[in-house]
Amino acid sequence: SPNSASTQKALEDRKAYFGKNLSLSYKAPIHMSRSVFQYMYDAEGNTFLDAYNNIPHVGHSHPKVVRAGQKQMARLNTNTRYVYDELAEYAERLLKYFPAKLNKVFFVNSGSAASDLAMRLARAHTKARHFLVMEDGYHGNTQTSIDISDYKFNNPKGEGQKEHIYKTALPNTYKGKFAGETEAGKRYGEEAVAQIQNSPHPIGAFICEPVVGCAGQIPLAKGYLKEVYPAIRAQGGVCISDEVQTGFGRLGDHFWGYEAQEVVPDMVVLGKPIANGHPMGAVVCTTEIAESFEKGVEFFSSFGGNPVSCAIAKAVLEVIEEEGLQENAREVGNYYQQLLKALAKDHACIGDVRGMGLFIGVEIVKAGTQEPDTELAQHLKNEMRQRHILLSTDGPFDNVIKTKPPLCFSKANAEEVVKNLETILNRI
């Protein structure tokens, strides 16, 4: 119970040592103590089914990943100013998942640092200082990352849109200008192209996520990037895909989200699942971009690409292959979406079920409308927590239930989530 003495003490400590903008999930915060695969355990020994956390990609505390970290920590940890085998071994293995033109990699310690670095690389390569970003996109917590994140700068408490940032409309097929049209992606794309062509300044880079998480799990309408990427390149810019949420097989049909759009970016930003919770990020780019960057000051990150991170990240790729986790994401994800869509048929408050693989959004609306029902979404999230199932909410109205579990999630787990949602909805 959240009222236990140890949880109260933990909550008081938070108040004492941290600012209030260090947010907590749920009305009754959970005092976590352990986790394994798709389960988490609180300080009182309650078991939670984790239908939300995508950072422990191959499963919380996966033994192979843990062992890889422990062994490497006991042997050598250092930085890239020395030569060690783990760095190139991992780089070689990672780059095999990309098309040949994406053949250089920079390692950092978070998705934010990777987004930030990608913008520096873009500036070095194009010399242009204006960037095009996606409505409701999110790329991280550094100043540069916030500047390119509509989700942050456009927040009522945010700093607003900077002069060198342009924003383009979310190609949303549920709501929005071209929703419901068969060629929505093309239509949204054409509008973005007109915006790019009419830009008062050259655009150095266009960055977006293949499925826009903070927008409420919105997959870019089919065919959108095929329109936008050539237009960015035609005026001298580079195209960046932020795969921090969508990468490493989570989408099932695709190892990287950009593949669903049948394009190849010039740069890819990686983070979260790359090392299963160990802090790591990366930027993958072309030789040409890396060469432009080389002409500037030295690139150095104290921790980026250290042998421990590389050993852990290599184990993550091995587990994805050995356990067929991309295939599991596809199979379980499709089944999970089917169950949620069946639930939506009986409950008009579910306006949309969308996503790919194990990256799913459930939009909660006032029955029979597209009007957000934030209160109901919060109720569902908190009731599910009381039933020991972890979900979250997001989107500009915080009315989209997000589910993006570790990839070892099973069909039985999906059934448990949907059955519990159904029980709660039936009681309303």
Binding site for ligand PMP (CB under 6 A): 110-112, 115, 138-141, 209, 213, 242, 244-245, 271-272
Question: How near is the Cβ of 309 to ligand PMP at its closest, in Å?
Answer: 13
The strand pairing partners of 141, in sequence order, are: none
Three-state DSSP at 294 gives: helix
Q: How many CB atoms lie within 10 A of CB 75?
A: 12
Listed in sequence order, the residues at least 6 apart from 422 whose beta carbon sits closer than 8 Å to its beta carbon are 343, 346
Instruction: Considering the complex, state which of residue 187 and residue 272 has its C-beta at the smaller distance from ligand PMP.
Output: 272
Beta carbon of residue 214, minimum distance to ligand PMP (angstroms, whole number): 7
Contacts of residue 348, Cβ cutoff 8 Å, sequence gap at least 6: 367, 368
CB of 169 to ligand PMP, least distance (A): 18
Residue type, 113: A
Using the structure block, give the residue that is written with the tokens 């798709």. Answer: 38
Question: Residue 83's CB: how many other CB atoms inside 10 A?
Answer: 8
- C-alpha to C-alpha distance for 36 and 54, rounded to whole angstroms: 13
Amino acid at 72: Q
By C-beta, is 241 or 292 nearer to ligand PMP? 241
Q: How far is the CB of 260 from ligand PMP (least distance, A)?
A: 15
From CA 83, how far away is CA 104, in angstroms rounded?
Answer: 17
Comparing every residue's Cβ against ligand PMP, the nearest one is 111
By beta-carbon proximity to ligand PMP, the closer residue of 84 and 153 is 153
- To ligand PMP, the closest distance from the beta carbon of 117 in angstroms equals 12
Nearer to ligand PMP, 351 or 361 (CB): 361
DSSP assignment of 102-117: --EEEEESSHHHHHHH
* Residue 33 beta carbon to ligand PMP: minimum distance, rounded to whole angstroms: 23
C-beta closer to ligand PMP: residue 244 or 290? 244
User: Which residue, 240 or 376, is less far from ligand PMP as judged by CB?
Assistant: 240
Beta partners for residue 402, in sequence order: 361, 392
